[in-house]
Structure 1
Amino acid sequence: MRFQEDHHYIEKTLKGNLNAFGQLIQKHEKYAFTLALRILKNREEAEEAAQDAFMKAFHSLKTFEGKSKFTTWLYKIVYNEALGRLRKSKNFTIQLDEVEELASDSLDYLDGLKALQLIERKELIQRGLDAMKPAESAVLTLFYLEEQSIKEIEEIMDLKSSHVKILLHRGRKSLLESLQKITKSELIHLL
């Protein structure tokens, strides 16, 4: 489905069209869920956090001033909701279920071997992200998967630019270390 610009749906929602907000949810639900999942590391908790964040966004939509992108505003709500749940649960070790493939459409035109390699690569990266600290994993997700700028990540996570850059640097390093450990472990099991 091809979506229109966010402001189109926001205007309609503010005029009472609930279907327009449903379109906003469909447009952003995968990324909202992925961000919550990176922080909470539990599929059910992430789904609930994303749903609650969308409800909060709906009830606060009239306060959205449009000074930043809608996604920045929304992801800040998702981030804070997930972080609040994480603080309540104090549970950092729950195993993460598989994340839905964000680019499932791209598999249609790939041949079987390439598709298998792509799936294996995503699973490997997912396992690497799972082993990281939630803040580093969230920053990498926002920057690389959701293509948010440093400035937007600052707003979402309520951090200074320098801190976001440090988290990105540490996150990249942690991801590399995690991937090296995982691949080394798998190689040892093969031998």
Structure 2
Amino acid sequence: MRFLEDHHYIKLIRQGDMQAFGLLVQKHQNLVYTLAVRMLKNPEEAQEAAQDTFVKIYQSLSGFEGKSKFTTWMYRIVYNECLSRLRKVKRNFTLVEELVNNPEEPADLMGGLEIMLLKERAALVRKGIEMLSASEAVVLTLFYLEDQSIKEISTITGNSESNIKVQLFRGRNHLGVALQKLTNSELIGTK
């Protein structure tokens, strides 16, 4: 299904069109769930957080002024919802994300060995990100995978732009160290 721009749905929702809200949810549900599951590390809890996020979006949509992109505003809500859940259970969290882009070529054109190597590399990157602090993992994911700008990440996380730049720099360095450790332990066989 091809979706329209967010502002189109928002206008209709403000006029009372519940079907438009359903379409807005369909358009963004995978994005919201993905961020929630990576922060919470629990699919069931992430599903609940995603549902609660959309309830909050609906309830506060009248307050959305359009000063930022809708997705930035939405990320902020899901981010805060997940942080709230994590604080309730007082556990540390990490965000796991694949930093390896999918190949541009169709899979049937790639050799089986190339596909296997890409999957192994992606799994290694995921393990490396699990070793990062939550803030570094979130910032790396939003910047590299969700194509959010530093300013947008600042809005989402509530941190200053200079702090985001520092987290990106440190996160890349820490990810490099983590990947080196993982690679060495896999070569030695001491997973």
What letter is aligned with 2:33?
F
1:13 Cα shift?
1.9
TM-score by length of 2: 0.85
Distance 1:117 1:24 in 2: 37
Higher relative contact order (CA 8 A, sep 6+): 1
Distance 1:140 1:95 in 2: 9
Q: Is the 8 A contact 2:39 2:94 kept in 1?
A: no
CA RMSD of aligned residues (A): 2.8
- 1:100-179 alignment runs, 5 A limit: 110-113=109-112, 114-179=114-179
**3-state secondary structure, aligned to 1:91:** coil
What letter is aligned with 1:111?
M
Distance 2:95 2:79 in 1: 19
1:44 to 1:77, Cα distance in 2 relative to 1, 3 A: same
What letter is aligned with 2:82?
A
**3-state secondary structure, aligned to 1:58:** helix
1:118 to 1:9, Cα distance in 2 relative to 1, 3 A: farther
What letter is aligned with 2:147?
E
What letter is aligned with 1:189?
G
What letter is aligned with 2:14?
L
**3-state secondary structure, aligned to 1:66:** coil
**3-state secondary structure, aligned to 2:127:** helix
- CA deviations 1:23-57 (Å, max 9, x no partner) are 22222222222322333233332222222111101
Q: Is the 8 A contact 2:13 2:20 kept in 1?
A: yes
1:105 Cα shift?
9.9
Distance 1:55 1:159 in 2: 25
What letter is aligned with 2:150?
I
Alignment-derived partner of residue 16 in structure 1? 16
Identity, % of aligned pairs? 52
Equivalenced residues, count: 188
**3-state secondary structure, aligned to 1:183:** helix
1:92 Cα shift?
2.5
What letter is aligned with 2:41?
K
Structure 2: any 5+ residue segments left out of the alignment?
none
What letter is aligned with 1:144?
Y
1:183 to 1:129, Cα distance in 2 relative to 1, 3 A: same
TM-score by length of 1: 0.85
Distance 1:27 1:103 in 2: 21
Distance 2:132 2:42 in 1: 14
> Who wins on radius of gyration, i.e. which is larger?
2
Q: Is the 8 A contact 2:86 2:93 kept in 1?
A: no
